């Protein structure tokens, strides 16, 4: 006879939250101010224009229900959902709003568990799970990032337009049997991960101003140590010593797909030899794709001995081989960094706003003279300057 169990739980939570960064709403920020000629204006200050808000909103909920399918058979189904939205992610401290991003993470999880007593001492359990997760990030600006040491990080966000879609499938099948002094357990597990990841990290480029030695600009040809902020100012003004410290950029294919399967099986026997001594032995095996792992054989054994008149003390000993599957994030990075899909470039002391040194083409034409046997015509091909 089938019976329907009442809804066990249903929870829905909407929790918006807004937090402001530590910049005051009004007042002054001390700093270095230069006049158009490049001279320092003493005693000057910079007015703060307001705050930058970072909002976080969360929507979550879960539901669970169960059925009594028979006198020895039950089914439980649960569902959970969670969505987080973040405005101006990464903004705060020295990071300006333009270097932030909007982020959204959506997670959904559906699971079912069926438990059946096949006999008085034989239990069978099956679990099935399906989860899907989507991560999206949209930068406030796609301009190259500008990181000035000790001052600010502005420009665009190196995150780029990130979109990650992940689907996970799980299947577990286990049996438990108790007979006199033995408890036997065996099971199999199947895991599937399907990921489509578009992560254009640093595809927009990033300038770094770390400061260092530079001409003193005093007309004597001497050198001095400048800050990253002074280095950035010189870069904007086109002055000597104004080249960024580095420029980094990633190019290639931003989208990386991954399909990974993992299968595991085990069998174990727990034997209670007497009231003091228990011995256990088992064998586990797992195999995996992406990367391919086929030799995951892991025997294990252990014992427990209780001593003392009241057996209040126990000695435990375990030994065996242990393996851990390679997680999908590590496999995904292995595919991304295979040396073919993407390339990372770092330029030291580049020209600001032209870090890759792309030439400006200039065509020089030489007049073509005709009519003299001793004359000859020539035309230069385009050349870079």
Residue 347 lies in a domain: yes
Which is nearest to 272 in space by CA: 306, 240, 249? Answer: 306
| pLDDT tens digits, 330-371 | 999 999 988 899 999 999 999 998 888 765 544 444 443 434
Report the pLDDT value the prediction gives residue 357, as an integer from 0 to 100: 77
| pLDDT tens digits, 244-291 | 999 999 999 999 999 999 999 999 999 999 989 999 999 999 999 999
Domain that residue 273 falls in: 3-10+56-210+245-360
pLDDT at 8 over 60: no
Residue 309 lies in a domain: yes
Residue 271 lies in a domain: yes
Summarize the confidence of residues 201-216 as an average pLDDT: 95
Identify the DSSP state of 29. Answer: E
Report the pLDDT value the prediction gives residue 176, as an integer from 0 to 100: 96
Report the pLDDT value the prediction gives residue 53, as an integer from 0 to 100: 73
Quote the CA–CA distance of 82 and 15 in Å, as a whole number.
11
pLDDT at 146 over 80: yes
Q: Which two tokens stand for residue 353?
A: 């706003």
Number of domains present in the structure of the chain? 1
Cα 327-333-334 angle, rounded to 5 deg: 90
Residue 17 lies in a domain: no
Report the pLDDT value the prediction gives residue 218, as an integer from 0 to 100: 83
Residue 35 lies in a domain: no
Residue 281 lies in a domain: yes
Residue 25 lies in a domain: no
Summarize the confidence of residues 78-88 as an average pLDDT: 96
Output the pTM of the full model. 0.74
| pLDDT tens digits, 26-78 | 333 444 555 545 555 555 544 444 567 778 899 999 999 999 998 899 999 99
Residue 377 lies in a domain: no
Report the pLDDT value the prediction gives residue 32, as an integer from 0 to 100: 52
Across the chain, what does the average pLDDT equal?
A: 83
Higher local confidence (pLDDT), 374 or 314: 314
pLDDT at 169 over 60: yes
Report the pLDDT value the prediction gives residue 35, as an integer from 0 to 100: 53
Residues above pLDDT 90, as percent of the chain: 68
Q: Report the phi/psi class of residue 104: left, alpha or beta, with left for phi > 0 and alpha for psi in -120 to 50.
A: beta
Most confident of 221-225, 267-271, 357-361, 376-380: 267-271
Confidence of residue 308 (pLDDT cuts 50, 70, 90): confident
């Amino acid at each position: 006879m089938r019976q329907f169990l009442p809804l066990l739980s249903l929870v829905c939570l909407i929790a918006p939250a807004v937090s402001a960064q530590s910049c005051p709403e009004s007042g002054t920020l001390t700093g270095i101010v230069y006049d158009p000629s490049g001279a320092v204006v003493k005693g000057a200050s910079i007015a703060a224009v307001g705050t930058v808000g970072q909002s976080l909103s969360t929507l979550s909920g879960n539901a669970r229900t169960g059925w009594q399918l028979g006198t020895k058979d039950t089914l439980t189904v649960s569902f959970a959902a969670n969505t987080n939205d973040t405005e101006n992610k990464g903004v705060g401290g020295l990071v300006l709003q333009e270097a932030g991003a909007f982020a959204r993470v959506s997670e959904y999880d559906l699971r079912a568990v069926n438990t059946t007593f096949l006999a008085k001492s034989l239990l069978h359990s099956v679990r099935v799970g399906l989860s899907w997760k989507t991560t999206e990030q949209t930068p406030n600006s796609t301009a190259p990032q500008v990181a000035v040491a000790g001052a600010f990080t502005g420009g665009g966000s190196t995150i780029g337009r990130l979109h990650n879609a992940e689907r996970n499938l799980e299947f577990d099948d286990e049996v438990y049997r108790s007979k006199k002094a033995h408890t036997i357990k065996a099971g199999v597990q199947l895991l599937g991960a399907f990921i489509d990841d578009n992560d254009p990290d640093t595809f927009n480029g990033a300038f770094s101003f770390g400061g260092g030695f530079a001409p003193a600009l005093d007309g004597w040809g001497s050198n001095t140590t400048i800050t990253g902020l002074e280095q950035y100012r010189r870069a904007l003004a086109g002055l000597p010593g104004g080249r960024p410290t580095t420029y980094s950029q990633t190019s290639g294919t931003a989208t990386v797909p991954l399909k990974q399967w993992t299968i595991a099986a085990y069998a174990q026997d727990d034997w209670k030899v007497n009231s003091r001594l228990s011995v256990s032995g088992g064998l586990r095996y797992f195999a995996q794709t992406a990367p391919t792992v086929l030799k995951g054989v892991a025997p294990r054994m252990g014992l427990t001995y209780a001593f003392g008149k009241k057996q209040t003390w126990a000695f435990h000993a375990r030994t065996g081989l242990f393996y851990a599957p390679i997680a999908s994030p590590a496999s995904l990075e292995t595919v991304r960094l295979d040396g073919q899909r993407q390339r990372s470039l770092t330029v030291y002391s580049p020209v600001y706003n032209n870090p890759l040194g792309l030439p400006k083409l200039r065509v020089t034409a030489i007049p073509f003279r005709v009519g003299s046997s001793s004359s000859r015509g020539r035309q230069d091909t385009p050349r870079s300057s």
